[in-house]
């Protein structure tokens, strides 16, 4: 995985902290669906409620697509949080937008992919957050099975887990992110969202999230 630009990574991290899209609570950790205890919770959907932040993210994601995937013919959002971001990008680029469900709709056409399916069309996938990469890469596989050519993926934020890097490498999918955990921690300390004393705990979580304890 790659970061678009380190200065952008810092700016996006600042804004996500400012609007509380990212919360850091090492003393009172969150519990993920996987059962992992985590000192961080990231909900980038909150950025949609803040026009300046929404536009910053949209503009940088558009820049990512144009720079790394100039041959993109469509944008595919990953349900649900990737849908609004993907639609914004597709609108700016004036190319088609589709989105990928986590499972087929249980009625009607029972679609997995919503929108016009064009076999052979070159698409870029949009995610809001990448953790292990499992759900993101499932969406990629679903698109490929439908006949699309997946050029790569862009995302707002990644925790930077080694397992995610390995999964994307194994799948042969290029991932470009606006910001990441390593850019977040210095900004969180500087802005006094956390203290130097909690930095060790926050750093150790990213290295081994499955075994981390507060």
Residue 82 annotated in ligand binding: no
Residue 107 annotated in ligand binding: yes
Residue 130 annotated in ligand binding: yes
Residue 108 annotated in ligand binding: no
Query: CA angle, corner 1, sides to 25 and 133, nearest 5?
Result: 60
Residue 54 annotated in ligand binding: no
Residue 179 annotated in ligand binding: no
Residue 23 annotated in ligand binding: no
Residue 105 annotated in ligand binding: yes
| Interatomic CA distance for residues 100 and 112, integer angstroms | 6
Residue 127 annotated in ligand binding: yes
| Interatomic CA distance for residues 65 and 60, integer angstroms | 9
Residue 128 annotated in ligand binding: yes
CA distances (Å), 157 to each of 8, 21, 72, 165, in order? 11, 11, 21, 14
Write out the binding residues: 101, 105, 107, 127-135
Write out the binding residues for 5-phospho-alpha-D-ribose 1-diphosphate: 101, 105, 107, 127-135
Write out the binding residues for orotate: 131
């Amino acid at each position: 995985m790659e970061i678009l630009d380190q200065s952008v990574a810092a700016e996006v991290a600042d804004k996500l902290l400012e609007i509380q899209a990212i919360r850091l609570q090492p003393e009172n950790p969150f519990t993920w669906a996987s059962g992992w205890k985590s000192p961080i919770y990231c909900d980038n959907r909150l950025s949609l409620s803040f026009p300046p932040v929404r536009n910053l993210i949209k503009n940088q994601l558009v820049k990512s697509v144009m720079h790394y995937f100039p041959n993109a013919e469509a944008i595919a959002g990953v349900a649900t949080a990737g849908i609004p971001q993907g639609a914004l990008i597709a609108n700016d680029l004036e190319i088609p937008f589709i989105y990928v469900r986590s499972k087929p709709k249980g009625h009607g056409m029972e679609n997995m992919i919503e929108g016009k399916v064009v076999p052979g069309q070159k698409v870029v996938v949009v995610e809001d957050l990448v953790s292990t990469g499992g759900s993101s890469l499932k969406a990629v596989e679903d698109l490929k099975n439908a006949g699309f050519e997946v050029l790569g993926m862009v995302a707002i934020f990644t925790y930077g887990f080694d397992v995610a890097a390995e999964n994307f490498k194994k799948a042969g999918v290029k991932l470009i992110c606006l910001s990441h955990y390593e850019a977040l921690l210095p900004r969180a300390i500087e802005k006094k969202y956390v203290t130097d004393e909690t930095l060790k705990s926050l750093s150790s979580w990213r290295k081994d999230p499955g075994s981390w304890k507060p």
